[in-house]
């Protein structure tokens, strides 16, 4: 292991167990495409999801939640105001919050909203390589919501963003790269078929929110959440005939994941 402070397999299991025992309530202001998979992934890992965004209730709900996940996937001015209200309430209370900057770089509106939210210093930013490169002002070459860059090529961008937020930045892809500047974890796992199911990354961000609620160290929480998600995805892909089976098998694997599997399968360096 490159850095002894990085989570090991026993830590990942302890985090997964903490989520199952604590059952955190995760408030999501997320996109229409991601709502179903994110909510089901949260339930499968033992958390409680709620998708709440009306201006009339978003602050009240943020006061009840253990973590907030903000995802700009299907944004509009009305939704952006919901995000602002929720983030303000979450940061006032000091609960962890996760930003998923979907398709940042694809349009100037997305890049601008991503930058505005970033300035509120999310506990964790989780995006694909093209999104993280774009947010950092480097040339991300996304294809809409999909990445065309490699996660390993976005490490410098991730570190630059972590400098801005003071938090954790995670770049998912072939290998998931997670940094808080001081520590950088490379989380291996997952399967290429995962990129063929829409909103997989959004669901990963939601699960990161649950782990950040249950685990005090955001780097530990994020790397553990992505290790569990990757492990479940990898196992789900074994025997999946395509994206459809992978999607439901992933939920089953997240739900059924056992200590022995996590201890044997975690690969963080």
Ligand X SMILES: Nc1ncnc2c1ncn2[C@@H]1O[C@H](COP(=O)(O)OP(=O)(O)OP(=O)(O)O)[C@@H](O)[C@H]1O
Output the known binding site for substrate. Answer: 51, 199
Picked from ligand X, Mg ion, ligand Cc1ncsc1CCO, none, the partner binding residue 24 (CB below 5 to 8 A depending on kind) is none
Contact status, residue 28 vs residue 3, Cβ threshold 8 Å: no
3-state secondary structure of 185: strand
**Size of residue set near ligand Cc1ncsc1CCO by CB under 6 A:** 10
74 binds ligand Cc1ncsc1CCO (CB under 6 A): yes
**Nearest residue (CB) to ligand Cc1ncsc1CCO, 72 versus 214:** 72
Within 97-126, which residues bind ligand X (CB under 6 A)? 102
CA proximity to 187, closest of 233, 231, 124:
231
Determine how β-strand 168-172 pairs with β-strand 124-128: parallel
Query: Dihedral angle at the C-alpha atoms of 52, 25, 237, 130, nearest 10 degrees?
Result: 60
145 binds ligand Cc1ncsc1CCO (CB under 6 A): yes
Spatial distance between the Cα atoms of 41 and 33, rounded to a whole number of angstroms:
14
Q: Which stretch binds ligand Cc1ncsc1CCO (CB under 6 A): 27-35, 149-157, 181-189, 248-256?
A: 27-35
Contact status, residue 50 vs residue 221, Cβ threshold 8 Å: no
Picked from Mg ion, ligand Cc1ncsc1CCO, ligand X, none, the partner binding residue 74 (CB below 5 to 8 A depending on kind) is ligand Cc1ncsc1CCO
Of 89, 193, 199, 251, which lies in the binding site for ligand Cc1ncsc1CCO, with binding defined by CB under 6 A?
A: 199
The DSSP annotation for 88-156 comes to: HHHHHHT--EEEE-TTBTTBHHHHHHHHHHHTT--SEEEEEHHHHHHHTTS----BTTB--S-GGGGHH
208 binds Mg ion (CB under 5 A): no
Of 49, 190, 218, 265, which lies in the binding site for ligand X, with binding defined by CB under 6 A?
A: 190
Of 102, 168, 215, 225, which lies in the binding site for ligand Cc1ncsc1CCO, with binding defined by CB under 6 A?
A: 102
Q: Which stretch binds ligand X (CB under 6 A): 11-19, 43-51, 108-116, 170-178?
A: 170-178
Of 62, 80, 168, 199, which lies in the binding site for ligand X, with binding defined by CB under 6 A?
A: 199
Question: For residue 177, what is the enclosing H or E element?
Answer: strand 176-179
140 binds Mg ion (CB under 5 A): no
Distance from the Cα of residue 85 to its chain's centroid: 20
Spatial distance between the Cα atoms of 250 and 211, rounded to a whole number of angstroms:
18
Nearest approach, Cβ of residue 134 and ligand Cc1ncsc1CCO (Å): 14
**Nearest residue (CB) to Mg ion, 36 versus 57:** 36
Spatial distance between the Cα atoms of 138 and 62, rounded to a whole number of angstroms:
33
31 binds ligand Cc1ncsc1CCO (CB under 6 A): yes
| Interface residues toward Mg ion, by CB under 5 A | 102, 201
């Amino acid at each position: 292991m490159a850095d002894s402070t990085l989570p090991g397999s026993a830590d990942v299991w302890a985090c997964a167990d903490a989520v199952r025992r604590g059952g955190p309530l995760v408030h999501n202001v997320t996109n229409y495409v991601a709502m179903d998979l994110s909510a089901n992934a949260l339930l499968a890992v033992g958390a409680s999801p709620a998708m709440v965004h009306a201006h009339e209730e978003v602050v009240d709900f943020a006061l009840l939640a253990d973590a907030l996940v903000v995802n700009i996937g299907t944004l509009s001015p009305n939704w952006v105001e919901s995000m602002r209200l929720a983030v303000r309430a979450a940061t006032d209370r000091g609960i962890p919050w996760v930003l998923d900057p979907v398709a940042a770089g694809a349009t100037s509106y997305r890049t601008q909203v991503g930058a505005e939210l970033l300035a509120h210093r999310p506990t964790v930013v989780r995006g694909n390589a093209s999104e993280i490169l774009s947010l950092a002002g480097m040339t991300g070459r996304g294809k809409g919501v999909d990445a065309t860059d490699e996660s390993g090529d976005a490490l410098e961008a991730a570190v630059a963003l972590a400098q801005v937020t003071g938090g954790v930045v995670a770049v998912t892809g072939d290998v998931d790269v997670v940094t808080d500047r001081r520590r950088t974890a490379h989380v291996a796992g997952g399967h290429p078929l995962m990129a063929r199911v829409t909103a997989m990354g959004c669901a990963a961000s939601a699960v990161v929110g649950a782990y950040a609620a249950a685990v005090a160290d955001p780097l530990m929480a994020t790397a553990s959440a992505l290790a569990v998600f990757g492990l479940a995805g990898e196992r789900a892909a074994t025997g999946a005939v395509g994206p459809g089976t992978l999607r439901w098998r992933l939920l089953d694997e997240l739900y059924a994941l056992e200590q022995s599997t996590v201890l044997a399968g975690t690969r963080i360096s």
